[in-house]
Amino acid sequence: MTKTRKTQLTKRAIAAGALTATVIAATFSGAFADSPEDPYLWLEEVEGESALDWVRSQNDRSQKILEADPRFGPMKADALEILTSDERIPYGQIHAGKVYNFWQDDTNKRGLWRRTDIKSYKSGKPKWETVLDFDQLAKDEDRNWIAGDITCLNPDYVHCMIELSDGGKDAGIRREFNTETKEFVENGFFIPLAKSSLSWIDKDTLLVGADWGEGSLTTSGYPRQSRVWRRGVPFEDAPVFYEGEAEDVFIFPYVAQSEESPHVFSVRSMSFFEREYYYDDGDLTKLPLPLNTDIQGVLDGQAIFFLREEWTYNDETFPLGSVVGFDLGDKTAELIASAEPNQSIESVGVGKTSIVIQYLEDVAGKAARLTRNDNKGTWSRKEIKFPANGVVSITSSGGGTDDAMLSFESMTVPDTLFYVEGTKVTKIASTPAFYDSSDVVVDQRFATSADGTKVPYFIMGRVDVLKAGDAPTVQYGYGGFLAPILPVYYSDPGRPQHGALAGKMWINRGGVLVISNIRGGSEYGPAWHQAALKENRQKSFDDFIAISEALIEDGVTSPERLGAVGRSNGGLLMGAIMTQRPDLYAAIDIGVPLFDMKRYNKLLAGASWMGEYGNPDIPEEWAYISQYSPYQKLAADKGYPKVLFYTSTKDDRVHPGHARKAAAKLADLDYDFFYYENIEGGHGGTANQEQLAYRTALEYAYFAHMLMKED
């Protein structure tokens, strides 16, 4: 069959409204042709003509229905107003006496990189100077540039490498930029397209992980080598600093600047969580650290590490979840901070002479400053006071100073930014209320999981709605990769479960939102994450289901009015609850999901997550993965709700084939569903705030369509 003939058949199938997976598979042949094991493999060809025809048809069908819901238009307007508001806090980072900020709004859809001096920023009404206009850059170069990482040489913050990607992919190019001239450097450093990483050693030297051709990438698609690249040396001739194994996840360059000289490391990640640290002390020395360890910075010759496992060294045992200092000279170690059983240290900011930690206590945010005592070996700790029962975040630390910036928020309290000198806290700015929360309450409750574990969750709703009961309810969950799910008001990128968006679009319309703190996250430290790894994954699903059952038992909602939402790893969670307990849910929103766990390690970055899920190619590990893999579990006559899938063609992290194949299989099993695939946007699913507003409205319109009566 010719290509033209196949296209004609496909287009006729679309026009006839009969575009099932079987119809399109019959028109397609080649590397992704159907097979007895998986008749939908052709949908894994990301830019394949037949696959994209299928995507367009599903988009058209689903968008027509959801956009026609009378609530969609107002919801989209609500989301766009919040996501592009000029009254959002312009969060930034301190560098060389200035505050740098990346800003997007309805005028600057791709974003502005801008700066102001600290005094102006602290006034709450900063006068901004544009450093780089990404909208203008894309226009001038006629490219679909989306801004990525910006990596600059500290402390001067003049020499920078700016990442640019096509449509928001993880892979991008990197170009040298000068913040004094505010221009790209002619004949400067340029790193070709790759999922690259880098650190500056000095203004003329980079430590780079990139794609140098055959043999230079891991099976996960990340750099296998780090190389020292000096100005004037051709990129391909940069000498290898360290090389790992092909089966590693990645090799990551890391340089911490100090007044004396830079501290140069190469980090070998054998799995998503296991890492070895190699330090340039004249030789390339492997540090004697446990594998589950994350470097946070270097202070006074000490490398600051966060331990995700217990470590015994020199006859001293350092507990799991603690922060330690490792002297890079004499190779001694000392405890800096540890967590109580109901606490979790979440982030560490290394300043010029002290450290700021942000931690959770029963999922409530707190912060402290730690300073090393003169007699060495011990640290003094002083709490930084913030309001109770909210989320505390470090927005800036370091940058050549001990000053830091932290924020506080909750689902009903707009975020407020504070400047912190020592432990003195000064308010800089606050976000106005994006919705009326005067009659909205947020309660923390606990459900009992299948194994007896108490699992916390937050429930948000209007007082009258919660009192009446049986409310349309959306339950959010993630449960993986050490990511805590916190009750925030707003953060970039916006998510439908954030307080401002949920409050305006869902709560004010009579809905209830639930935030689930299931195992797999870090709400109670690394142990909370490790409890749901690999063969224990089901515990994460059990936790979510236990919360759902508690909501129904307590009368908050009913199976006919309960919906669930999750994305990425949370999309896997949605697939698991859909196939295991479809009786509990009337709507499930499944975003950029993992779904086919038999093939996930063969698709894009999937191999990098085997430390989380296991290796499906090992029979003993597939034995437990197969017990929950949603794609293989899909079956006829199970009563699945009419789900919504969304993904992105440009997602080069979680393959869009997961969502495509799941939807196609559901179609052939005679289930109806909604489907939306954005053509750009990367793993975030959107490339700008306008696209994000559209998709968020689509999600809430879906829940309203399924769980609420029309207004």
Known catalytic residues are 568, 683
Residues 67-100 as b or e (16 or more Cβ within 10 Å = b): eebebbeebbebbbebbbbeebbbbbbbbbebbb
Alpha-carbon gap, residue 668 to 209, rounded angstroms: 44
β-bridge partners, 174: 163, 191
**Per the structure block, which two tokens stand in for 579?**
């196939």
**Per the structure block, which two tokens stand in for 431?**
């976000």
Alpha-carbon gap, residue 499 to 511, rounded angstroms: 13
Amino acid code (one letter) for 10: T
* Nearest of 81, 83, 101, 82 to residue 91 by alpha carbon: 101
Q: Is the dihedral of CA 243, 246, 249, 250 positive or negative?
A: positive
Count of CA atoms in the C-beta half-sphere (13 A) of 227: 22
Residues 6+ apart with CB under 8 A from 152: 95, 158, 159, 160, 161, 179, 200
- C-beta separation of 84 from 106 below 8 A: yes
What are the φ/ψ torsions at residue 41 (nearest 5 degrees)? -60, -30
Q: Is the dihedral of CA 491, 496, 497, 500 positive or negative?
A: positive
Count of CA atoms in the C-beta half-sphere (13 A) of 116: 18
- C-beta separation of 186 from 178 below 8 A: no
**Per the structure block, which two tokens stand in for 103?**
């800003």
The torsion of the CA quartet 121, 125, 128, 133, rounded to 10 degrees, works out to 110
Q: Can you list the positions of beta strands (E) in 170-280?
A: 172-178, 183-184, 190-194, 197-202, 205-209, 225-230, 240-243, 250-256, 263-269, 275-280
β-bridge partners, 115: 100, 129
Residues 6+ apart with CB under 8 A from 357: 323, 337, 345, 347, 348, 349, 367, 368, 370
Alpha-carbon gap, residue 351 to 665, rounded angstroms: 52
**Per the structure block, which two tokens stand in for 670?**
């005679």
Amino acid code (one letter) for 444: Q
Alpha-carbon gap, residue 533 to 184, rounded angstroms: 44
Of all helices (H) and strands (E), which one includes residue 701? helix 689-707
Tell me if residue 614 falls in helix, strand or coil. Answer: coil
Residues in the chain, how many?
711
Alpha-carbon gap, residue 173 to 145, rounded angstroms: 10
The CB-based long-range contact list for 552-559 (8 Å cut-off, 24+ gap) reads: 552/584, 555/469, 555/470, 556/459, 556/466, 556/469, 556/470, 556/471, 556/473, 556/512, 557/469, 557/470, 557/471, 557/472, 557/473, 557/512, 558/470, 559/583, 559/584, 559/585, 559/586
Cis peptide before 155 (omega within 30 of 0): yes
β-bridge partners, 276: 268
Of all helices (H) and strands (E), which one includes residue 705? helix 689-707
Residue 377 has a CB neighbour count (10 Å cut-off) of 10
Alpha-carbon gap, residue 663 to 21, rounded angstroms: 9
